[in-house]
Amino acid sequence: MSAVTVTVPRDTAALSVGADDVAAAIVAEADRRGLAVTLVRTGSRGLFWLEPMVEVVGPDGVRHAYGPMTADDVPGLFDADFLEAIDHHPLAHGPTDSIAYLKDQQRLTFARCGVIDPLSVIDYRTHGGFVGLDRALTMAPEAICAEITHGGLRGRGGAGFPTGIKWTTVREAPGPTKYICCNADEGDGGTFADRMLMEGDPFLLIEGMTIAALAVGAREGFVYVRSEYPRAIATLRAAIATAEAEGWLGEGIHGTDRAFHLHVRVGAGAYICGEETAMLESLEGRRGQVRAKPPLPAHEGLFGKPTVVNNVLTLAAVPVILAQGAAFYRDFGAGRSRGTQPFQLAGNIRRGGLVELAFGVRLTDLVHRFGGGTLSGRPVRAVQVGGPLGAYLPGDGLDVAADYETLAETGAMLGHGGLVVFDDTVDMARQARFAMAFCAIESCGKCTPCRIGSQRGVEVIDRIMAGENRAANRAVLDDLCEVMAEASLCAMGGLTPNPVRSALAHFPEDFKRPPTARAAE
């Protein structure tokens, strides 16, 4: 009998609940029984509630899923002949691609994540990798930029700026030295898509950055990864070394005379370095303080040179646009939001994970149909959309299409696509206070509304929560939010009022509770 292929993720989330123990138990049990198993460590499929999720490749090549697994479950599964890809076991979920959570998604960016060995170029190419780059190598820079523009790709880091226009600006900027910088400082609470991608399909990011380099005439690039992601850093570094060794990066990309050199730089625990100009300062070796714009980074970016700064998910969407064409990509989506968005379901949620869908899906579908409501089983009271700077929406206000414009109309924003679910035990005054406190901790300190405003915001909310002169303090808080929103230098101070104002608007009762009720909790 030939060896059966079994996959176990080595993604941080899967490891956090014991994937290594499960992998070791499978190898040991197969050994004990004299059965031949080929263990492949993959990224995660993003069905985190099933992690550690093990897949067995059946004789017909179809993968069957089992999870959530513990090492203790392994002997029982061998007893039930799970190496024959059986589906009659309490932990069996049938063919992985038929699991509704996965089947109902539209995976373009995350098509390979969890499927392939992240560090195998052969796996990557077998699953359609480097097709976009090969096409880009035959195209003029103008044509690559035009393809991205026609594909309708917009920045996935939160701002939603059209990527093709940014690239064209850098391409047209004068001078021989230009840079590609990937912002992998995924600091928003409730987001993990960048991490998953870097750990599960790092060649996709490398391919996207290389295409960007060809499009604008850059020969050097940097990925700025946050230090909180040690496995993503290690995987990316290994992938870069492999890509260089196999002729996909460095001098002479895939047998051409083109060159692109890619470096990984590690952040140091500063949330603000997710702001593009603060990230550039940090890359240059300085305090991560925001720069005034203009000049835009596209004109004067890293070391004063024209620079493309894009998020991981933006760059990772590029290869499919080149491989399948702009028309294919822009057929997904709604309104001016084209393509797909990897949404991240997080917090108090029954089926948390990554859901990639065309823009326009309703938030209620994400939270309830995919997410299954709260983990605690209590009612969904609030959902924070788009990270720490995003609005809190009420549980009964989720019938909203998730695209850039529609969310903006409701006073919310997509951000990096994270949804954090809270049940009815949440105290929204405390969440509003946290938004200000987080801003006070993470402000770069360059502008006064953010640096001082956030500190005053904490104090004012404390007074409101303590029941001191509530009407007057509420007026101060409203003024403070207006000053921060209108006068801050960047989105950190400018958007911190979003969670505060939305908490006040949708959950006013939490700011009116008698202080003794809170103290008793």
Partner 1 sequence: MTGRESLAETGQDRDWEMQARARAIVAEHQGQPGALLPLLHAIQAEFGCVEPSVVPVLAEGLNLSVAEVHGVVTFYHDLRHARPGRHVIKVCQAEACQAVGADSLLAHVRRSLGVDRGGTPPDDAFTVDVVYCLGNCALGPTVMIDDVVHGRVTPARFDALADVRRRAAP
Q: Which is nearer to partner 1, 13 or 320 (CB)?
A: 13
What the block records as the tokens of 58 is 């059946």
- Using a 10 angstrom Cβ sphere, with 0-12 exposed, 13-18 middle and 19 or more buried, the burial of residue 81 is exposed
User: Cβ-count burial of 226 within 10 angstroms (0-12 exposed, 13-18 middle, 19+ buried)?
Assistant: buried
Report phi then psi at 5, rounded to 5: -85, 125
Report, in Å, the least distance between residue 74 CB and partner 1.
Answer: 19
- Give CA–CA dist 85/77, Å, rounded: 10
Q: Toward partner 1, which CB reaches closer, 24 or 375?
A: 375
- Tell me which residues touch partner 1 (CB under 8 A): 12-13, 15-17, 48-49, 51, 186-192, 194-195, 227-230, 232, 265-271, 282-289, 303, 344-349, 352-353, 375, 384, 388, 418, 420-423, 426, 431, 434, 438, 441-442
Q: Which residue has the tokens 């197969």?
A: 30
Is residue 55 within 8 Å of 63, Cβ to Cβ?
yes
Q: Which is nearer to partner 1, 130 or 438 (by Cβ)? A: 438
Q: Which is nearer to partner 1, 346 or 481 (CB)?
A: 346
Q: What is the CB-side half-sphere exposure of residue 4 using CA atoms within 13 A?
A: 25
Q: Shortest approach of partner 1 to residue 81 CB, angstroms?
A: 29
Measured torsion, CA atoms of residues 164, 170, 176, 182, in degrees rounded to the nearest 10:
-80
Q: Which is nearer to partner 1, 151 or 347 (CB)?
A: 347
CA dist 33 → 29, 69, 70, 78, 191 (Å): 6, 20, 19, 9, 41
Nearest distance from residue 181's CB to partner 1, in Å?
Answer: 11
What stretches of 62-130 show up as alpha helix (H) in DSSP?
74-79, 100-103, 121-126
Q: How far is CA 374 from the centre of its chain?
A: 21
Shortest CB 21 distance to partner 1, Å: 12
Cross-strand bridge partners of residue 42: 9
- Nearest distance in Å: CB 287, partner 1: 4
Q: 164 or 288, CB closer to partner 1?
A: 288
Strands 380-385 and 418-423: antiparallel
CB of 236 to partner 1, least distance (A): 14
Closest by Cα among 138, 117, 25 to 71 = 25
CB of 92 to partner 1, least distance (A): 21
Tell me how far, at minimum, the Cβ of 269 lies from partner 1, in Å: 4
Nearest residue to 415 (alpha-carbon basis) of 369, 384, 453: 384
What are the distances in angstroms from CA 431 to CA 27, 296, 389, 442?
Answer: 45, 34, 12, 16
User: Closer to partner 1 at the Cβ: 341 or 348?
Assistant: 348
Output 4 or 420, the one with its CB closest to partner 1.
420
Torsion sign, CA atoms 42, 43, 47, 52: positive
The kind and range of the H/E element at 506 are helix 497-506
Contact 300, 499 (CB under 8 A): no
C-beta closer to partner 1: residue 142 or 284: 284
**Could you tell me the smallest distance in angstroms from the CB atom of residue 395 to partner 1?**
13
Strand order in the sheet with 340-347: 353-358, 340-347, 418-423, 380-385, 392-394
Helix (H, G, I), strand (E, B) or coil at 488: coil
Give the residue with the Cβ less far from partner 1, 206 or 346. Answer: 346
How many residues appear in the chain? 521
Give the SS3 label for residue 350.
Answer: coil
Say which residue the tokens 């995919």 belong to: 370
Could you tell me the smallest distance in angstroms from the CB atom of residue 134 to partner 1? 31
Smallest separation, CB 428 to partner 1 (Å): 12
- Taking the least distance from each CB to partner 1, the nearer of 179 and 329 is 179
- Give whole-number Cα distances, 220 to 37, 214, 278, 314, 422, in Å: 42, 11, 19, 18, 43
Q: Between residues 144 and 383, which has the closer beta carbon with respect to partner 1?
A: 383
Q: Give the shortest CB-280-to-partner 1 separation in angstroms.
A: 9
User: Is the Cβ of residue 13 or residue 317 nearer to partner 1 in the bound state?
Assistant: 13
Cβ at position 413, least distance to partner 1 in Å: 15
